[in-house]
Structure 1
Amino acid sequence: MWELTEEQRDLRALAAQVAAEQYAPRAREWDAGRVHLPDAERRRLADLGLLALTLPEEFGGGGRPLIDALIVLEELAKASPVAAWPVFEASTGPARVIDLFGSEEQRKRILPEVASGKTTIAVSISEPDAGSAATDATTTARIEGDQVVLNGTKRWCSGAGFSEKYLVYVRFGPEKGSAGMGAVLVDRDTPGLTFGPQENLMGFRGIGSADMFLSDVRVPLDDVIVPKGGFRKLFTAFSVERLGNATMSLAVGQTALDRTARYIQERRQFGREIAEFQTVQSALADMVVQVEAARLLIARAAVNAGTGAPAALEASVAKLFANQMAKQVSDLAIQLHGGYGYSEEYEVERLHRDAHGWALAGGTPAMQRIRIASEYLGRRFDQRGQCAG
């Protein structure tokens, strides 16, 4: 049976205290105003040692196992996904790609700025005609001497316009599929890079999302993080990010459960607490089971990963289950709150909106099912070769 160590309990307590004091009181305001986390708060997280827990100590990170980052991520996300977002990016997102696959020079140059809170790196994969089929990307990278010239359009980039740097997935050559794919780091202020208007999304408010337009964007050759043909090894990094995503869903489910448990013991109907009604107890029990199961699936994958990357099968199973759990549990929370669940005041509706976003991000449930079947059977399936009969 896996249990938190004393050090991990202390880490969780610190994150929970910061979340309760600094972020929970502002969560509704940030959601309503679509407010991005102030840079000062990101630096606060870095100063407290909560930001880049999985990055190496030699570059200013915590050098901790993945499970430690997920513990912090959950506590912050229970207060506000906006507050948790920089930790997601630094400890489970594109910064880990640089840590895992970047050169020693790149790691020394880039990671300390992430660990200090000076820089956030966002990932940019999707395009208008390349979402789940990421290897259909058409954004091009042409090498000219000691520079790389980028042209194309990126879509659904979380953090676009706010993050200081972007890990952009591009096509280095005419080869189809993953063979020509790689990734390049681009600064926000690079000439030729522009951003579309911020999307008004159902959830994820305050994290930001926008199109990116690259017109003869020139970056140093030294900023090619993953060269041509290296796309397949990025699935390792995707597994790390999927556990971060699953943890954000876990935070939604746990928060919905906690709020509901309080509410049903405060709300009275027919002269007694509604917690005394069997239908309410049954719904709450379903919520508890789903949240606990998601937590165990995430913990299994993360503990087995240690300081490395989780197994692809375990990560996809955890993400799929946690994503579905968050939607179902937050929906039950709305139902058990009755009319109050439909009100912004109780913030349960915000949880439900965010739950749907996490299910779409980082690989949809449909794509996770394909990934799970592929990993379990040890086979690859070409979706392009299928047709409806």
Structure 2
Amino acid sequence: MFELTDEQRALKQLAAEVATERYAPHARSWDELRTPLPDEERRLLGSLGLLALTLPEEYGGGGRPLIDALIVLEELAKASPLAAWPVFEASTGPARVIHLFGSEEQKKRILPAVAAGESTIAVSISEPDAGSAATDAATSARVEGDEVVINGSKRWCSGAGHAEQYLVYVRFGPEPGAAGMGAVLVDKKTPGLAFGFQEHLMGHRGVGSADMFFSDVRVPVENVIIPKGGFRNLFTAFSIERLGNSTMSLAIGQTALDRTARYVQERKQFGKEIIEFQLVQAGLADMVIQVEAARLLIYRAAVSAGTGAPSALEASIAKCFSNEMAKKVSDLAMQLHGGYGYSHEYEIERLHRDSHGWALAGGTTTMQRTRIASEYLGRRFDQRA
């Protein structure tokens, strides 16, 4: 049993109040119009100290353990996944990579603006021929004097075109696999960087997703966050990001459960509330079991991590289960809502759409299973034929 401290309960209440009063009323229209989160809303989260809870205080963050950030992330995501996105990026995404692996100069230069909501960083890793096989990336980077020159293209970049900066994973040399890879921070306005059209995705609307094209993009060598050969260190950061991903799925499941619990006690058929029917009770019970199990797996990994990183095994288990839970629970919610679940009115269909995105992002559930087997057995499996 995980009991929240008084401080954590207060943090949870603050996040819930902001989410309910400020973001919930706009969630439907943001989704319909694919509207990016307004800059002033991101700055508000920064001013409230909710944006970068896991970053150290000396860089403008909250200096809190990972579990605190996940508590806030869930409350915001239950109201609007778009409002939760900057917290996801700052507390569990690319900003944490810079915190973990960047130089002191880089941390002082980059992170305070992120913590304040003045700047956002998106990650750019996938390519047309390098998705789950991220170490097959071909986008190249070469050092010329005091600059790094980047050429290539990226796909499925969440936040592309909206974020101010991008943590771009590149290949510094001819060495295959992880050996030649590193990461460079690139400003949105850098000459030679271009964006493709915004993808019309099934879910995650407003976050933005587009291709990125690099044609002799030059950035200062001081922007190299991960040097050549340092890619394997990122597995630590990936585990943190996977718990952020898991929590976004948890928020979907909890929201679907909450709305269904209300609906089945209001909707009447054959002269009584539909919750009186045993199959409806069983469906609701299955939703409760799935959501609570996901929360316990996430909390176990996060509490074990403290202010550091969770184990790869626990993070992958949490992500795999939570991703599939969100799909199952939102589908059950749709069934128990009947025709209303399939309509736009109750927003169950939006939850179901979004659930599929998290199961693809940050390593598919298929890849998580391979990771789980690998970590459990203490072996490494080569996926190449």
Same fold (TM over 0.5): yes
Partner residue in 2 for 1:323? 323
Query: 2:130 aligns to what SS in structure 1?
Result: coil
Separation of aligned partners in 2, 1:60 and 1:174: 38
Query: 2:212 aligns to what SS in structure 1?
Result: strand
Partner residue in 2 for 1:192? 192
Query: 1:213 aligns to what SS in structure 2?
Result: strand
Separation of aligned partners in 2, 1:250 and 1:346: 19
1:168-188 deviation per Cα after TM superposition (whole angstroms, max 9, x unaligned):
000000000000000000000
Query: 2:26 aligns to what SS in structure 1?
Result: helix
| 1:1-389 superposed matches below 5 A | 1-385=1-385
Deviation at 1:26, TM superposition (A): 0.5
Separation of aligned partners in 2, 1:231 and 1:58: 26
Query: 1:265 aligns to what SS in structure 2?
Result: helix
1:298-320 deviation per Cα after TM superposition (whole angstroms, max 9, x unaligned):
00000000000100000000000
Query: 1:2 aligns to what SS in structure 2?
Result: coil
* Partner amino acid, structure 1, of 2:196: G
Query: 1:384 aligns to what SS in structure 2?
Result: coil
Deviation at 1:346, TM superposition (A): 0.3
Deviation at 1:139, TM superposition (A): 0.1
1:122-178 deviation per Cα after TM superposition (whole angstroms, max 9, x unaligned):
000000000000000000001000100000000000000000000000000000000
Separation of aligned partners in 2, 1:189 and 1:220: 14
Query: 2:338 aligns to what SS in structure 1?
Result: helix
1:56-109 deviation per Cα after TM superposition (whole angstroms, max 9, x unaligned):
100110000000000000000000110000000000000000000000000010
Query: 2:374 aligns to what SS in structure 1?
Result: helix
* Partner amino acid, structure 1, of 2:86: P
1:240-263 deviation per Cα after TM superposition (whole angstroms, max 9, x unaligned):
000000000000000000000000
Separation of aligned partners in 1, 2:208 and 2:293: 30
* Partner amino acid, structure 2, of 1:238: F
Separation of aligned partners in 2, 1:312 and 1:200: 32
Q: How high is the sequence identity, in percent, across the aligned residues? A: 80
Separation of aligned partners in 2, 1:194 and 1:79: 33
Separation of aligned partners in 2, 1:24 and 1:112: 28
Deviation at 1:2, TM superposition (A): 1.8
Separation of aligned partners in 2, 1:327 and 1:50: 28
1:188-242 deviation per Cα after TM superposition (whole angstroms, max 9, x unaligned):
0000001000000000001100000000000000000000000001000000000
RMSD: 0.4
Query: 1:155 aligns to what SS in structure 2?
Result: strand
* Partner amino acid, structure 2, of 1:78: K
* Partner amino acid, structure 2, of 1:221: V
Separation of aligned partners in 2, 1:290 and 1:46: 33
1:342-374 deviation per Cα after TM superposition (whole angstroms, max 9, x unaligned):
011100000000000000000001000000000
Separation of aligned partners in 2, 1:80 and 1:377: 39
Separation of aligned partners in 2, 1:380 and 1:182: 21
* Partner amino acid, structure 2, of 1:63: G
Separation of aligned partners in 1, 2:328 and 2:49: 34
Query: 1:320 aligns to what SS in structure 2?
Result: helix
1:44-66 deviation per Cα after TM superposition (whole angstroms, max 9, x unaligned):
00001100000010011000000
Unaligned runs of 5+ residues in structure 1 are none
Separation of aligned partners in 1, 2:227 and 2:251: 35
* Partner amino acid, structure 1, of 2:321: F
Unaligned runs of 5+ residues in structure 2 are none
Separation of aligned partners in 2, 1:68 and 1:52: 10
* Partner amino acid, structure 2, of 1:294: A
* Partner amino acid, structure 2, of 1:11: L
Normalising by structure 2, we get a TM-score of 1.00
* Partner amino acid, structure 2, of 1:241: E
Separation of aligned partners in 2, 1:164 and 1:63: 24
* Partner amino acid, structure 2, of 1:138: A
Deviation at 1:295, TM superposition (A): 0.1
Query: 1:157 aligns to what SS in structure 2?
Result: strand
Query: 1:63 aligns to what SS in structure 2?
Result: coil
